[in-house]
Amino acid sequence: MTTETKEKKTEEKSKKTALFICLDVIVFLITVTSAFLTSFFAKRSEAEVLLNTVLCGAACGVFLFKLRSGLINAEFDYDNNIHPVRIYLVSGLMFVISVVCAYLPKYGWPIPALYLTMMLFSNAFTGLLGGSLFLLICCIASGVSVEVFALYFASGAFTVCIFEKLDKEFKVSLKVALSMVSYSVMLIVGAILSENSTVSPESFMIPVLNIVVTTILFIGILKLFSSSVIFKERNKFLEANDTENPLLVKLRENDHKSYMLSIHTVYFCERIAGKIGLDTESLKCAAYYHVLLLKNRDILSRTLFPDSVFRILFEYANQKLPVSKECTVICLCNYMVGSLQFLIEKNGDKKIDFDLILDSLFDKVIKDGYLKKSDLSFAEFMVIKDVFKGEKLYYDFLR
């Protein structure tokens, strides 16, 4: 990479950072101004106006700090790290909805849907902060009691906990049912029992309508998210893990030895991932491209690889010593396979004591301090060693 290219990339990064800082300031000012104006026109006391403004400002500040921190450190789930503008647009939409909700009956707010949306397009903690901020805005604008805030906060927090981890099959039916059952109980208890209302069909009308609307919103949000994010990531995996991918085909044609090193590394990574609890699909995908990456760093793109794979490859390309378990496994497999290929080629048809060689190679890894920064435990290291020792029949394919 030339000095001119580096300077250009640094300049672009600085411009983006400045743009998002300006955006954060604008969001903060809009939030604080909205809290002040709604309190002022609702004819609250000066103390209440000040308190509401400060509370909203503090909540918004914490949310924006976590939002920027998540984007800078790539802490968000799914592909949210590569779509920073999307989370701001979603936040803006949730802000508008929270203001509209303030003019609805207090037990008719679909607040859990706001928490769910914020969580899906960021991560659990940021979603919890964002949902709570918009709930606070709604409560301040409508002037409801603390009990109402607590009710919605509890239901929103429960929603975040339930939907925090979505499997690759995107099975959400049970999660939606659990979330709606808990929300129904809290909403009906809050709407009827806490206010000592006389139980009548009319008392149930707004809460039941709210539950129906929230359920429909849940289904719609999850459907939108699955089509725009989840299945798009799945398609990336399918394309990247295809051995007929143009990048892998090119490597196979131009450097067959490096290609076979990648294929054999993938084989061992796949065996190891399941035994030590790593994501097999992500590790396998990263292993396919780790050799090619060192030859051509331009392939490292978030548009080509799923976010989980990008993180592994980014670390592999930029860290002298591996830190994450995934990167460590790829490095170890690459080292072992490469060393075994060299010894097999050197010895020809001579009989090789693979146990002795593997013991020597793994001891060297420890003595050289190659794992001193790694998150891999010693027990997991021994599992990897056992995998290699148990695959002696496979070593014929390394010839």
pLDDT of residue 5: 53
pLDDT at 12 over 80: no
pLDDT at 394 over 90: no
pLDDT of residue 20: 86
Average pLDDT over residues 366-387: 91
- Residue 229: CB partners within 8 Å, gap ≥ 6? 78, 79, 80, 120
pLDDT of residue 3: 57
In terms of Cβ atoms closer than 10 Å to its own Cβ (0-12, 13-18, 19+), residue 68 is middle
pLDDT at 7 over 80: no
pLDDT of residue 330: 94
pLDDT of residue 335: 92
- Which range has the worst mean pLDDT, 39-43, 331-335, 392-396? 392-396
- Which range has the worst mean pLDDT, 164-168, 222-226, 233-237, 312-316? 164-168
pLDDT of residue 382: 94
Q: Quick one: what percent of the chain has pLDDT higher than 70?
A: 93
Please report which confidence band the pLDDT of residue 195 belongs to, taking 50, 70 and 90 as the band edges. Answer: low
Joined together, the tokens standing for residue 386 give: 């056992």
Architecture of the CATH domain 241-398:
Orthogonal Bundle (1.10)
Cα 363 to Cα 168: distance, rounded to the nearest angstrom: 37
pLDDT of residue 1: 47
Mean pLDDT of the chain: 87
pLDDT of residue 386: 93
pLDDT of residue 43: 85
Q: According to CATH, where is 1.10.3210 located in the chain?
A: 241-398
